[in-house]
Amino acid sequence: MENIGQATWFGWNSTQNKQDRQAFDSGIDINSGYLKSKDQTVKGAMIEGKRQTFGDITNRSLQSNRTLDSKGLVKAPSFVTKLQQSHSLQHSAFCDPSLIDGSKIEKGRRDWIDIDKQNEDDPQACSAYAHSIFQYLREAELNKRANSKYLEDMQVDVNAKMRAILVDWLVEVSEEYKLCADTLYQAVNYIDRFLSLQSAQRSQLQLIGVTCMWLAAKYEEIYPPNVADFCYITDNTYSREQMIQMEEVVLKRLSYELTVPTAKTFLRRLLQVCNPDEHLHFLSNYLTELSLLDYSMLEFTPSVIAAAGIFLANLMLSRTPWDGNLRHYSSYVPADIKLCVTALSSVHLAVGNSTQLAAIREKYAHARFHEVSRLPSITIMPYMFSNQH
């Protein structure tokens, strides 16, 4: 294993992404808690609804419904799934903006699909409780977030650049040990919340970061790396005793509240809603993960960041950025996420033009992610948020 830890902040070695690392965990795979089966997925899209029940199957019923072609032969009936209808509406809306703002949607007609109804037979999906769960998570994200101004209010020896270097290094650590995305997001949440409550010296920052990663791994992973692995990854800069001691300090400062919703939590839900292909899936994950690097993104809640990630990804892929499904399940209209989309686009541009903080960009430049980090940035214009829900 290549050692990627150093005792000093600005001299850490960069670990190259390994081709045999597992692909980023999917918002619609088993890591999300939603098990897929052959009759549930077609090219990555969830089929909407159940098969229609049988009606009258007598000859009289069939005779009345038959349609003859020009040769006098009975035509095969055509069926359109709810998912196809939804995609047809989205395509029409892209051509006609008035469909997106709802002006041509019939009064009383629902413009979103009940994705939980289609999963009601899957006990892993918890469909009966999904709405309540995400209502709770929207409340919890407000109570378990960092102070967005903690560097100004609490820290003296730590700045935004040091934080970005730490997060970039933790991305490399998560890749080295093949940790799931939730572990990374949780670790960054613990770091920011801890630093919101506790002043720290720059010499302690790496210890705080690796300890928070260790805590998150023990919370999220089935087989987390042990404390010796995390000591090794820092080039043994810190001892086992130091990490255990810091773990106690962090836990007490966080009041042992380790269950927190992150942007990944909400992104997984929204990706389930919009039936993404792999390009949209990986690009929205890339953009959302970039938000971890930038201290200024703490201004936005995780659910807003997740929504902005999908909105911006759709724009970059020249697709309809928002629809009824996303509006309903996120509870946001484009105006609500406009500032976050603009900020996230700026982060994307800055990372693309920099040779530093490259861990996330290099990770998503791999072919297994369709090289989405190589896509060019776009200029955000006001009209992109008009004529929307």
Instruction: Give DSSP secondary structure letters for 175-216.
Output: HHTT--HHHHHHHHHHHHHHHHHS---HHHHHHHHHHHHHHH
User: Do the beta carbons of residue 75 and residue 68 sit within 8 Å?
Assistant: yes
> What is the rounded CA–CA span in Å between residue 118 and residue 135?
20
Which residues on adjacent β-strands are paired with residue 68?
Answer: 74
CB hemisphere CA count around 59 (13 angstroms) = 0
Look at residue 80 and tell me whether its pLDDT is greater than 80: no
Classify 170 as helix, strand or coil.
helix
User: Do the beta carbons of residue 263 and residue 305 sit within 8 Å?
Assistant: yes
> What is the rounded CA–CA span in Å between residue 76 and residue 74?
7
What pLDDT digit, counting tens, does each position of 255-308 carry? Answer: 999 999 999 999 999 999 888 899 999 999 999 999 999 999 999 999 999 999
Tokens of 299: 């201004």
Phi, psi angle pair for 45, to nearest 5°: -105, 140
What pLDDT digit, counting tens, does each position of 220-251 carry? Answer: 999 999 999 999 999 999 999 999 999 999 99
**Burial class, 235, CB count within 10 angstroms (exposed 0-12 / middle 13-18 / buried 19+):** middle
Q: Any idea which residue has 């919009």 for tokens? A: 274
**Burial class, 288, CB count within 10 angstroms (exposed 0-12 / middle 13-18 / buried 19+):** buried
Tokens of 122: 């899957």
Look at residue 325 and tell me whether its pLDDT is greater than 80: yes
Which amino acid, 285? N
Sketch out the chain's domains with CATH numbers: 9-28+139-253 (1.10.472.10)
Which amino acid, 132? S
Tokens of 311: 């909105």
Confidence of residue 386 (pLDDT cuts 50, 70, 90): confident
What pLDDT digit, counting tens, does each position of 7-62 carry? Answer: 444 334 444 444 334 443 434 343 444 334 434 443 333 334 443 333 333 444 33
> What is the rounded CA–CA span in Å between residue 303 and residue 295?
17
Average pLDDT over residues 117-121: 83
pTM exceeds cut of 0.85: no
Residue 263, CA distances (Å) to 188, 260, 345, 377 in order = 11, 10, 16, 21
Cα dihedral 106, 109, 110, 113 in deg (nearest 10): -90
Tokens of 184: 């990374």
Which amino acid, 243? M
Q: Any idea which residue has 């995400």 for tokens? A: 134
Query: Under 8 Å CB-to-CB from 95, ≥6 apart: which residues?
Result: none
User: Do the beta carbons of residue 34 and residue 124 sit within 8 Å?
Assistant: yes
Classify 73 as helix, strand or coil.
coil
The pLDDT, as a whole number, for residue 70 is: 52
